[in-house]
Structure 1
Amino acid sequence: MGGICSRKRDQEVIGDGIASRISGRYGKSGSSKWLRNSFGHVAVADCQAGGNRPSLMELCIQQICKDIERYKSFSVLPRDISQQIFNELALTHSLNDDSLVAFLDCALQDVHLGDYPGVKDSWMDVISSQGSSLLSLDLSDSEITDAALVCLKDCSNLQEMTLNYCESITEHGLKHIRGLNSLTSLSFKRSTAITAEGMQAFSTLVNLEKLDLERCSQIHGGLIHLKGLTNLKELQLSNCNITDFGVSLLRGLEKIVILNLEGCNVTTACLDSLSALVNLAYLNLSRCGLSDEGCDKFSVIQLSTCKVIECLRKHAELKKLKVLSLAFNNITDAVLVHLKGLKNLESLNLDSCKIGDEGLANLSGVLLVRLLSGLPLKSLELSDTEVGSSGLRHLSGLNQLESLNLSFTLVTDGGLRRLSGLTSLKSLNLDARQITDTGLAALTSLTGLTHLDLFGARISDAGTKYLQHFKNLQSLEICGGGITDAGVKNIKDLSRLTVLNLSQNSNLTDKTLELISGLEGLVSLNISNSLITNKGLRHLRPLKNLHSLTLESCKVTASEIRKLQLTALPNLVSFRPE
């Protein structure tokens, strides 16, 4: 609901420290002279003028990238400089067949071209020329084939490789990664190349710590080839058609800390195998079709035939488990009482399970024990469950709970009074139509909230006055349709906001943009389905940090937003209409 836009890769920051090394360590080198000759005196003068200006190195890099067609090779440069030039070209999508050649034999350490258009086998000559210097490689969603993997044989120090969605790689090409024994992280999301037979190529990667095979649907039985990878700490197998037998093949991988089996065809019998993973801290069993076997109706629990309960009781030795997700399964209240053995559990996800108030009563005993031992549950996900207001009394003692999701539950305004003591809460989701101004008034003691989701709640202008108690809010969503410009007056002083979603409030006008123009920390803004016009866009000019702007179904045109982007909002990378 109203998510924000984020970069796929962190942009490396070039500080003054690098510039000083250029004038010092490289002061007498040919590469330093090359840089000076490549850079205009006007830009240097601007840099020396003071103020919040880019460093000398940043200006150099920008100018080089602007005139990239002038340069035939960067191999004479120190590696850190050529790496920065490469990163900038990749970030701005300025690399092509011609400019790439300039990086031949540059000893680059990182080549991150995930989702970059036009990457193909012919680029591998330059990429592989980095040789033993290359440490990380991302060619996700590219056109490379098996031939590309052949080229990597000389990149013996490669530690991280990401080849997600590379549909032209086959299982025959995988054998060429056998010699990359320095790999610690490998990702092949949604790859048809990863078959049970193809996974033999992984058996020699003994230093592998992270393996991501999400949506690789043909690997059933192939997990046998992982038995020698005893250093594995993270294994992502979501939506891979893994069965209980497949999980049994993981028994010897005792260092696994994170295991994702979301959407797999496992049953509660897999807990027999999981109990051998003594260091397991994160377990995702969401959407696995788990149920309380023997219970024809969720309102009737037959403990003697409840297989989930039996297994949880038997395998309470998963003592290091910190994060457990059982979301979107047909499990019921009775299961919760048997979580008491998971004494390190910090996060529990029961989204869309058949959990009600009775279940929370069982859970509260577990949580009380945990509070007394100094290991409180920090995150509880109850979205789309049958939890109601009376059940919230079982949470009232969780004074160290930081995140609680009650969206699409049966909780009403009256029940929210029972949350008033949860003063450690930072994130609260109350996306439910039955929540009104009265419920928001009951939460004013939660002054530590940083994220508040009232997306579908029926909050009016009168109710927004209670928002003034939440001075620490960074993210706010109110989309129930009851807010006008008058209500926004109570939002304009929440100076720490970075995400604001006021969509669906059809009576908001350009005045709203004027009111929030002082929220200069905003990164994401959504006021769709309102009366905002092109004329009101001028009020957004102070929001220099804005990355995402959504004004769909408003009287706003894409051309006017583009003008605003070019003249006042340099960081705006996503906007609608577009």
Structure 2
Amino acid sequence: MGGSSSRNRSAPVREHRGIYRRYSRNGSSKWQATFDDKDGKAICPSLMELCTYKICQQVHQYDTFSMLPGDISQLIFDESVYSRRLTWNNLEAFRGCVLHDIDLGEYPGVDDSWMEAIFSHGSTLLSADLSGSNVTDCGLVHIKKCVNVEALNLNFCDQISDVGLDHIKGLLNLTTLSLKRNKNITAEGMSALSGLVNLLNLDLERCTSIYGGLVHLRCLSKLQALNLNCCNCITDADMEPLSELTNLKELQLSSTKVTDHGVVFLKGLHKLALLNMELCCVTAACLDSLSAIEGLLHLNLSRCNMTGDGCNKFSRLKGLKSLNLGFNDISDDVLVHLKGLINLESLNLDSCIIRDNGLVHLAGLHRLKCLELSDTLVGSNGLRHLSGLVNLESLNLSFTAITDGGLKHLCGLSTLKSLNLDVRQITDTGLEALTSLTGLTHLDLFCAHITEAGTIHLRNFKNLQSLEICGGGLTDAGVANIKDLRSLMLLNLSQNYCLTDASLELIAGLTQLVSLNLSDSRVTSAGLQHLKPLKKLKSLSLESTEVTANDIKSLQENDLPNLVTFRPE
């Protein structure tokens, strides 16, 4: 059934979240003998899948799996975790197995009592995810024998302190280390990281007590990605040690206290491709330093102190592919300095003071794929400047002043896949103007006034995967025009009070649905029977209806095993 398992240490670490998700999530003994593929056709599981699932059903009866080939025992372990059948008692059955990856992230009950068995795999273990567990410094002592581990995830393990970091300092093969949201790690404890010379990825997000500790990262010359988001203790002084990390490609500094003075230390990081400084107290003055970073491709300056002053320096960032200037006090005058950034593929101007005339400066950005204009002062006249952006795939016009008449300027954007029209002025007429955009996969008409008459135009959008029409006068007859959109995965029809159980019956044929919202409607518990064919449904919201939590739980247990979240709950 399998041979001995081996894995090249240089290969990327797999992220296990369960191998056989087609089976029950809740450990039910009722096994679906077949499942639907992407075309909705029933196919049988393989012999390997069948054997693995059957073993996991009775995993508590086995004393050991150590005689099995490593790849088989790994599959049994993964499925036991996913089906929530792994316990502290039956964990012993995997002692002596060749397990490369142990993914127990957010798994209930994991604490120090599990650690000796988990780390007993010693040199064969290559990755371990213990995020969200109750492991402490005492439990982490057992990891010392796992000398070949490459990836270690200790996110949200808030009982680990500097003492625990000392236990991992000998793991010289470690390439990925994640320590998100740990307030107990201090600058002194970070000295344990200085010897991890092969580290490529380090995540310290929300570690709020590490001020002064970045000095211990100087020797990590191979480091490529560093996440310091929401470390509000980090200041300009902490940037100086980072100037020596010349292989750094990604740096996350969102919500830190770094200012223009600290950015100066980054200008020698010529390989830096991504820099996130959202919510930092930087101004356009930092652009002098940023323009010296030759490899910079992605820059986030959202919610900073950007104004028109000094923004002419944006024209120096010729290589940028994505730029986020959302929620800054910038106006049309700034956009003139962006027109030379011809490599831009993504531009975010959310909530900026942008008007119709400013959009003329974007007309030459022919490589743009994503444009965010939400909550700006853009109106229908401005949309004519976007008609030449022939590569545009995503456009957000929510909370703008556009009307039905302006949408005609979008008709030539044949590559458009995602369109957000959360605008009260859009009606059935506007929707009719968009019928040439047959490639749309995501359409948001959240606040638009779409009626039964308008929904007939939705029949043109055969590729739609996501559709939101909320807060309008939609009726069951309108839903009848949606029932043939077989590619839909997300459907939000909330706040349409006239919808009844008849709509549920119409939706029953949309077997690709993963998320469904019919809150604030007139559907009842009797109508839930129509949802039984939606085997892929993971999220169901029926708040402010006559449906109760027990009704949905019954539907989940008997017919929709993949349903993870539902409301009411």
Aligned partner (choices 408, 430, 435) of residue 444 of structure 1: 435
* Partner SS, residue 276 of structure 1: coil
Cα shift readout 1:416-438 (whole Å, capped 9, x = no counterpart): 22222211111111112222222
Task: Kindly indicate whether residue 57 of structure 2 is the aligned counterpart of residue 66 of structure 1.
Answer: yes
**Aligned residue number for residue 214 of structure 1:** 205
Q: Is residue 536 of structure 2 the alignment partner of residue 545 of structure 1?
A: yes
Match of 1:312 in 2: 314
For 1:122-201, list aligned pairs within 5 A: 122-201=113-192
Instruction: After superposition, give the CA deviation of every residue in 1:465-514 in whole Å (9 maximum; x if it has no partner).
Output: 11111111011111122211111111111111111111111110000011
Q: Report which stretch shifted further, 230-239 or 156-165.
A: 230-239
Q: Is the 8 A contact 1:271 1:311 kept in 2?
A: no
For residues 465 and 362 of structure 1, do their structure 2 counterparts lie closer, same or farther at Cα, with a shift above 3 Å needed? Answer: same
In the alignment, which residue of structure 2 is the partner of 1:346?
345
1:487-546 per-position Cα deviation (integer Å, ceiling 9, x unaligned) = 111111111111111111111000001111111111111111100001111111221221
Residue 25 of structure 1 is matched in structure 2 by none
Whole-Å separation in 2 of the counterparts to 1:350 and 1:218: 34
Q: CA deviation at 1:307?
A: 5.0
Higher helix share: 1
SS at match of 1:223: helix
| 1:342 shift after superposition | 4.6
C-alpha displacement of 1:322: 2.7
Does residue 11 (structure 1) correspond to residue 18 (structure 2)? The answer is yes
Contact 2:248 2:271 in 1 (8 A): yes
* 2:267 is equivalent to residue 239 of structure 1: no
**TM-fit CA distance, 1:129:** 0.7
CA distance in 1, matches of 2:428, 2:249: 43
Q: State yes or no: 1:288 paired with 2:295.
A: no
* 3-state SS in 1 of match to 2:452: coil
Bigger mean CA offset, 539-548 vs 335-344: 335-344
With over 3 angstroms needed to count, the CA separation of the structure-2 counterparts of 1:338 and 1:159, relative to structure 1, is farther
Q: 2:501 aligns with which of 502, 510, 517?
A: 510
After TM superposition, list the pairs within 5 Å mapping 1:40-439 onto structure 2. Answer: 52-241=43-232, 242-290=234-282, 307-309=309-311, 311-313=313-315, 316=317, 319=319, 321-339=320-338, 342-365=341-364, 367=365, 371=366, 376-439=367-430
Query: Taking structure 1 as reference, are residues 399 and 544 closer, same or farther at Cα in structure 2, changes over 3 Å only?
Result: same
Q: CA deviation at 1:291?
A: 5.3
Please tell me the residue identity of whatever aligns with 2:321: K
Distance 1:441 1:554, change over 3 A: same
Distance, in Å, in 2 between the alignment partners of 1:87 and 1:59 is 14
Shift of 1:191: 1.0
C-alpha distance in structure 2 between counterparts of 1:245 and 1:410, whole Å: 45
Number of equivalent positions: 517
For residues 436-475 of structure 1, the aligned pairs below 5 Å read 436-475=427-466
Partner Cα distance (2:264, 2:148) in 1: 38
Change (3 A) 1:537 1:103: same
Provide the rounded CA distance (Å) in 2 between the counterparts of 1:175 and 1:127. Answer: 19
Residue 248 (structure 1) shift? 4.4
> Runs of 5+ in structure 1 lacking a partner?
1-7, 16-42, 294-304
Q: 2:517 aligns with which of 520, 526, 534?
A: 526
Q: CA deviation at 1:133?
A: 1.1
In structure 1, distance between residues paired with 2:448 and 2:281: 31
- List per-residue Cα deviations over 1:222-274 (Å, max 9, x = no partner): 22322322322222222112334434443333333333222233334555444
- Distance in 1 separating the partners of 2:383 and 2:462: 25
What root-mean-square deviation, in Å, do the aligned CA atoms of Structure 1 and Structure 2 show?
A: 2.6
Matching residue's letter, 1:575: F
Q: In 1, are the aligned partners of 2:522 and 2:546 still within 8 Å (CA)?
A: yes
1:435-456 alpha-carbon deviations (Å, 9 max, x no partner):
2222222211111111111122
Q: Secondary structure at the match of 1:549?
A: strand
Q: Please give the TM-score of this superposition, normalised by the length of structure 1.
A: 0.83
**Unpaired runs of at least 5, structure 2:** 1-14, 23-30, 35-41, 286-306
Aligned-pair CA distance for 1:157: 1.3
Counterpart of 2:7?
Answer: none
Look up the equivalent residue of 2:277 and give its one-letter code: L
Cα deviation code 1:375-401 (max 9, x no counterpart): x12112222233332332222211101
The equivalent of 2:11 in structure 1 is none
Q: In percent, how many aligned pairs have the same letter? A: 58
Is the CA contact (8 Å cut-off) linking 2:260 and 2:281 kept in structure 1? no
Report the residue type matching 2:138 in the other structure: A
Deviation string, structure 1 residues 203-223 (Cα, Å, up to 9, x no partner): 222222222222222233322
Shift of the 167–63 alpha-carbon distance from structure 1 to 2, 3 Å rule, reads same
